[in-house]
Amino acid sequence: MTNFLSRLSRGLAIILFFGTSLILSGCQSNEIKGEEQALLTYAPAVPAAITRNHPTKVIIELETTEVVKRLADGVDYTFWTFGGEVPGKFIRVREGDLVEFHLNNHPDSKMPHNIDLHAVTGPGGGAASSFTAPGKGTTFSFTALNPGLYVYHCATAPVGMHVANGMYGLILVEPKEGLEPVDKEFYVMQSEFYTQGAYGDAGLQPFDMEKALLETPDYVVFNGSVGSTTGDKAITANVGDRIRLYVGNGGPNLVSSFHVIGEIFDLVYTEGGSIANENVQTTLVPAGGSAIVEFTVDVPGTFIIVDHSIFRAFNKGALAMISVEGDANDAVYSGLQDESVYLPEGGAIQNIAGAAPAAQIAETIEERIAAGERIYSSNCAACHQPEGQGIAGVFPPLAGSDYLLSDPDRAIHVVVNGLEGEIEVNGETYNGVMPGVRLSDEDVANVLTFVLNAWGNEGGEVIPSHVTRARSTH
Amino acid sequence: MVILKKAIVLVPLMMLLASSAAQSRQTRLPSIPTGMVEIAQGEYAPLYKSPDGEDSIAVSAFLIDADPVTNQNFLDFVIQNPKWSKSQVSRIFADETYLRHWASDTDIGDAFPTSPVTNISWFAAKAYAKWKGNRLPSVAEWEYVAGAGLHSPDGKSEDGFTTHILNLTNRVTPNTPFLVGLTKPNYWGVRDLHGLVWEWTSDFNSALITGESRADANLERKLYCGSGVVGASDFTDYAAFMRFAFRGSLKAAYSGANLGFRTARSL
């Protein structure tokens, strides 16, 4: 009798088991099947969406290197990297995947490194198991238990310095059910750099520990350098595209007020989690945190990604661009003029305090133009655009500008002292505020000489004594 | 006339040098081997200390090499001790990258004779030191010497010292390490402690760093760093954190392109 019952219950269990697994195999299974090498991408690219409906074993190889690269025009920095670039390579796995992680430290590295992936459940997020001397490799495994967008970073002492030098990236754990398909996906990661020289000071700039402790960076950038994603390197899309940005913040210190000028996020997976908020203008991205934002681009033009803690955008480099092509939609586009309210300086002209940086002395007009071009891209291009074309209705053009070319002396005043109120440029009215720019007389002369000779402008030279004179007649 | 002036200046100077050399010979017994300098006794405040450890460690007077051991120095050693050559060394004592920048067992190839030798294991460094009648410096000794500025035993009392050391430490490794002995000697007369190569110490892994720098606070091994974050004596000495992290990542058979050594001797 007992025997019969136990046989019966065993039989039932078998039927139940097979029945359930049949149902499951119809949609998806939780059993790990197969093995694959993860394809990792550099920002702003994102690996293709995962089409598997089952977990697998994913093998990830990531190399730590220490490299000297461009931080801004004329400015180099010794970056410590995951994969040779800042931010580190983007990793994409699926919820339930068993990840076998290989961290290799290049033999030329000076430092040992490790990796703490916030997607890992376990001590140190993997850091305790991945401490790797130069010329060595380590391996550990974890299961991606929780879906979401996670930061990874180096956690070797002094940990702040490893992060400050560029050791962070993103790992996306796609939920089992996948993410809604979109037209374009991009990887954008904010971070800040602390250099011994001031913003724009040329040459190889060493890490400044004092500034890092005070949390006063010289550079706040997207994707590892000033201008990484502007002009020719802007993210591109077409009118009507649904765009998804995987946004991370490597820090090490600052929290980002992430904003796209002229767009409203239709969806924000706040902090990279599972709950979507709708119709968001600016979303906070914590240091060591993330957000997934989605929006559809309805009109053509340049949409500027900023940290809306806005001095970082205009004075420290926190600016990237989405260039959208397609047919215009005048009704929607005209709304863009309201963007002028985002200017942080408010209604009054302001100057930024501090001693003027030492300028190099240009001997010839050619040297002046060359020096001016660098100053332009660090100080002016954010608003007036890389080709001096401005943004219609918001930032006046400099290329072929009647306002500029008819009176270069007035232009000196504008650069030195700032300008507010209504002006007319090439028949179009602008009513904004430009802050006075903190530049030496030499730098003002150089940048204006560059502007006067760029993009088809007719030429001319501004020399430092003109600037000195203009300052004294303010 | 000009020559005469020089002579007038030179003669007393030479006399002065001769007398000071004679004086130091009298006080420094036994005689100091060529290339080594004497370090006076003092105290070293450890970056990491055990929970019940002292705030400072007494360092007795000792001798240390003024410069790191060079390729040429190490070649001399290998020629006399073939078991430490690339082809014969035991894998237990040196990993696969041991002396990999040398062309062969007895040919340093493109390496400079006066560059610091790198790609050597702790075992090899220790064997070399023994062969020289010396030993490896301890972490406390090494840090004590490296903490000196240009003008005093306490570099941190000199303006810009911490930043300068951090800048040196933070440099990217050049493809070919620079030559030894080109930089200014510190207060003790020791050169190239920072920024040229990392250096082995006898007890390189006694300050326990797990790799998870933030968790080191929870380790309760009395002999080791104990309390990591809480235990660190100076949060602003990033160069020291880097050295301790580097040492913590090593095993005795490891060899690396940035890792050399110098020897020491007790008095």
Give the pair of three-digit tokens for residue A424.
């007319």
| Per-residue pLDDT tens over the stretch B188-240 | 999 999 988 999 999 988 765 555 566 554 443 322 232 334 456 677 788 88
Determine contact: B218 vs chain A, CB below 8 A: no
| Contact between A155 and B210 using a beta-carbon 8 Å cutoff | no
Which residues in chain A have Cβ-Cβ distances shorter than 8 Å to B47? Answer: none
Residue B9's pLDDT is 43
| Contact between B241 and A116 using a beta-carbon 8 Å cutoff | no
Residue B231's pLDDT is 53
| Contact between A156 and B211 using a beta-carbon 8 Å cutoff | yes
pLDDT average, residue stretch B68-97? 96
Domains and CATH numbers, chain A: 28-339 (2.60.40.420), 365-472 (1.10.760.10)
User: Residue holding tokens 């996948």?
Assistant: A178
Nearest Cβ partner for B256 among A107, A206, A210: A107
Strand partners of residue A222: A190
Determine contact: A349 vs chain B, CB below 8 A: no
Best B96, B101, B172, B218 member to test A by mutation, with max A CBs in 10 Å, is: B172
Question: Which of B138, A401, A47 shows the shortest CA–CA distance to A392?
Answer: A401
- Both B128 and B202 in one domain: the answer is yes
Closest residue in A to B98 (Cα) is A135
Determine contact: A109 vs chain B, CB below 8 A: yes
In chain A, % of residues over pLDDT 70: 87
Residue A241's pLDDT is 96
Q: Is B143 left (phi over 0), alpha (psi -120 to 50) or beta?
A: alpha
- Both B18 and B111 in one domain: the answer is no
CA distance A227 to A230: 5
Asked if residues A140 and A119 have their Cβ atoms less than 8 Å apart, the reply is no
| Contact between B257 and A136 using a beta-carbon 8 Å cutoff | no
Overall domain count for chain B: 2
Residue B214 domain boundaries: 36-266
Residue B30's pLDDT is 64
pLDDT average, residue stretch A65-87? 94
3-state secondary structure of B244: helix
In chain B, % of residues over pLDDT 70: 75
- Both B111 and B82 in one domain: the answer is yes
End-to-end CA distance of chain A: 107
Residue B215's pLDDT is 57
CA distance B213 to chain A (A): 5
Q: What is the DSSP letter of B136?
A: P
Residue A3's pLDDT is 53
Which residues in chain B have Cβ-Cβ distances shorter than 8 Å to A194? Answer: none
Amino acid making up residue A225: S
- Both B1 and B123 in one domain: the answer is no
- Both B145 and B202 in one domain: the answer is yes
Query: Which helix (H) or strand (E) element contains residue B118?
Result: none
- Both B67 and B117 in one domain: the answer is yes
| Per-residue pLDDT tens over the stretch B19-52 | 444 444 445 556 899 999 999 999 998 887 666 6
Which residues in chain A have Cβ-Cβ distances shorter than 8 Å to B209? Answer: 131, 157
CA distance B191 to A143: 49
Instruction: Name residues 421-440 of chain A within 8 A of B (Cβ).
Output: none
Q: Does the structure show a pLDDT above 80 at A204?
A: yes
- Both B6 and B82 in one domain: the answer is no
| Contact between B213 and A133 using a beta-carbon 8 Å cutoff | no
Give the pair of three-digit tokens for residue A117.
């992936």
| Contact between A112 and B257 using a beta-carbon 8 Å cutoff | no
- Both B4 and B112 in one domain: the answer is no
Residue A71's pLDDT is 95
Q: Does the structure show a pLDDT above 50 at A62?
A: yes
Higher pLDDT, A99 or A20: A99
Cβ neighbours around A138 below 10 Å, total: 19
Which residues in chain A have Cβ-Cβ distances shorter than 8 Å to B242? Answer: 111, 157-158, 161
Give the pair of three-digit tokens for residue A138.
């380590």
| Contact between B256 and A213 using a beta-carbon 8 Å cutoff | no
| Per-residue pLDDT tens over the stretch A89-124 | 999 999 999 999 999 999 989 999 999 999 999 888
pLDDT average, residue stretch B66-75? 97
Q: What is the DSSP string of A260-326?
A: EET--EEEEEGGGSSPEEEEESEEEE-TTEEEEEEEE--S-EEEEEEESSTHHHHHS--EEEEEEES
Query: Which helix (H) or strand (E) element contains residue A424?
Result: strand A419-425
Which residues in chain B have Cβ-Cβ distances shorter than 8 Å to A109? Answer: 173, 258
CA distance A273 to A54: 21
End-to-end CA distance of chain B: 49
Mean pLDDT of chain A: 86
Asked if residues A126 and A101 have their Cβ atoms less than 8 Å apart, the reply is yes
Closest residue in A to B214 (Cα) is A155
Residue B221's pLDDT is 35
Residue B163's pLDDT is 86
Determine contact: B167 vs chain A, CB below 8 A: yes
Best B212, B216, B244, B254 member to test A by mutation, with max A CBs in 10 Å, is: B212
CA distance B105 to B99: 9
CA distance B173 to chain A (A): 6
CA distance A99 to chain B (A): 20
CA distance A438 to B175: 40
Q: Calculate ∠ Cα B196-B197-B199, nearest 5°.
A: 135
pLDDT band at B255 (very low <50, low <70, confident <90, very high): very high
Residue B208's pLDDT is 56
CA distance A174 to A95: 6
Give the pair of three-digit tokens for residue A298.
């309805």
Q: Dihedral sign for Cα B157, B160, B163, B169, please.
A: negative
3-state secondary structure of A254: coil
Residue A125's pLDDT is 87
CA distance A30 to B80: 63
| Per-residue pLDDT tens over the stretch A227-266 | 999 988 999 999 999 999 999 999 999 999 999 998 999 9
Which residues in chain B have Cβ-Cβ distances shorter than 8 Å to A135? Answer: 97, 254-257
Q: How many CA atoms lie within 13 A of A282 on its CB side?
A: 15
CA distance A117 to A123: 11
Best A66, A78, A156, A163 member to test B by mutation, with max B CBs in 10 Å, is: A156
Q: Does the structure show a pLDDT above 70 at A282?
A: yes
CA distance A92 to A362: 50
Question: Which of B28, B1, B31, B243 shows the shortest CA–CA distance to B137?
Answer: B243
- pTM check: above 0.80: no
pLDDT band at A77 (very low <50, low <70, confident <90, very high): very high
Higher pLDDT, A408 or B133: B133
CA distance B100 to B86: 8
| Contact between B173 and A130 using a beta-carbon 8 Å cutoff | no
pLDDT band at A471 (very low <50, low <70, confident <90, very high): confident
Q: Dihedral sign for Cα A254, A260, A264, A268, please.
A: negative
**Can you give the CATH number for the domain in which B257 is found?**
3.90.1580
What is the CA A238 to chain-centroid distance, rounded? 20
| Contact between A131 and B210 using a beta-carbon 8 Å cutoff | yes
Q: Does the structure show a pLDDT above 90 at A441?
A: no
pLDDT average, residue stretch A412-426? 86
Asked if residues A170 and A248 have their Cβ atoms less than 8 Å apart, the reply is yes
Question: Which of B171, B185, B180, B188 shows the shortest CA–CA distance to B63?
Answer: B188
In chain A, % of residues over pLDDT 90: 57
User: Residue holding tokens 């070293």?
Assistant: B44
3-state secondary structure of A7: helix
| Contact between A209 and B212 using a beta-carbon 8 Å cutoff | no
- Both B45 and B27 in one domain: the answer is no
Dihedral pair phi/psi, residue A132, rounded to 5°: -130, 120
Determine contact: B199 vs chain A, CB below 8 A: no
CA–CA distance from B37 to each of A397, B43, B44, B45, B137 (Å)?
67, 18, 18, 22, 13
- Both B70 and B138 in one domain: the answer is yes
Among A416-420, B2-6, B247-251, top mean pLDDT goes to B247-251
Which residues in chain B have Cβ-Cβ distances shorter than 8 Å to A123? Answer: 212, 215
Determine contact: B41 vs chain A, CB below 8 A: no
Best A64, A65, A104, A111 member to test B by mutation, with max B CBs in 10 Å, is: A111
Cβ neighbours around A361 below 10 Å, total: 11
- Both B117 and B245 in one domain: the answer is yes
Instruction: Name residues 145-164 of chain A within 8 A of B (Cβ).
Output: 155-159, 161
| Per-residue pLDDT tens over the stretch A337-394 | 554 544 555 444 444 444 444 546 778 888 889 888 888 887 888 788 888 988 877 7
| Contact between A213 and B244 using a beta-carbon 8 Å cutoff | no
Higher pLDDT, B178 or B106: B106
Strand partners of residue A285: A256
Determine contact: B161 vs chain A, CB below 8 A: no
- Both B101 and B191 in one domain: the answer is yes
pLDDT average, residue stretch A145-153? 97
Q: Dihedral sign for Cα A391, A394, A397, A402, please.
A: positive
Asked if residues A304 and A321 have their Cβ atoms less than 8 Å apart, the reply is yes
Nearest Cβ partner for A111 among B166, B242, B255: B242
Q: Which of A128-137, B200-209, B222-231, B253-262 has the lowest mean pLDDT?
A: B222-231
Determine contact: B173 vs chain A, CB below 8 A: yes
Question: Which of A146, A163, A42, A30 shows the shortest CA–CA distance to A93?
Answer: A146
CA distance B96 to chain A (A): 10
What is the CA B136 to chain-centroid distance, rounded? 9
Residue B211's pLDDT is 55
CA distance A250 to A43: 13
